[in-house]
Structure 1
């Protein structure tokens, strides 16, 4: 009986440690996603919006049900090397992996792509109205 209790206690400790590691892993993975998203937004915010034709809406992130989390303005002509677009795509893949790994649940509301981007006070702003750029 003592052996059984010792085995049961040991098993309980092992399972508790595994759950703790999973929680820490999830928190760490989530923090990395937050940092990546902020890096993307910081790069975009550092680029002045002077010509609306240089920008387009770009999907960012991945909902657990599928589809993007959001759309952001993407400086297509400024990102000649494609490094920013690569970072956006990497972030989206990582969020999709995160959702699967941790069985994340999200709303399944479809996010539609904005009509375009306009420049307001040197900043890119997504728009949905039919008027288009000013």
Structure 2
């Protein structure tokens, strides 16, 4: 019975390691994350902003102490398949794994969600409205 439990635990660990895209080299993993972030930004940049109502702010990334690294304009109406949103969520999950694995520290400052998105010269731009005094 002990051998069976040990085998089961070992298989579980191997399976978990194979399913994570975070490897064993911090520099390589940081580069993968940077490339993935750039791919997300490039996809967003390639979509013309014609109607601000088709867009919303979306959290991107994960700070070591919690919360998002930043917000990006997300083309909700254009991303019917949800592939871009899945990529954003995957990036955020992988950055959280990276932070935990490499014991990363961050500034722990809270990043406030933007109020919305507006279209400026065909490009989406996040904005935050100041509260009324």
- TM-score over 0.5 (shorter chain): yes
SS at match of 1:37: helix
SS at match of 1:67: coil
Where do 1:122-133 residues align within 5 Å? 122-130=122-130
The structure with the largest alpha-carbon Rg is: 1
Residue in structure 1 matched with residue 74 of structure 2 by the alignment: 74
RMSD over equivalenced CA pairs, Å: 1.3
Deviation at 1:129, TM superposition (A): 1.9
Residue in structure 2 matched with residue 46 of structure 1 by the alignment: 46
Deviations 1:41-99 (A, max 9, x none): 00000000000000000000000000000000000000000000000000000000000
SS at match of 1:98: helix
Name stretches of at least 5 consecutive residues in structure 2 with no aligned partner.
1-23
SS at match of 1:39: helix
* TM-score calculated relative to the size of structure 1: 0.79
Residue in structure 2 matched with residue 92 of structure 1 by the alignment: 92
Runs of 4+ in structure 1 displaced over 3 angstroms?
none
Residue in structure 2 matched with residue 115 of structure 1 by the alignment: 115
SS at match of 2:110: coil
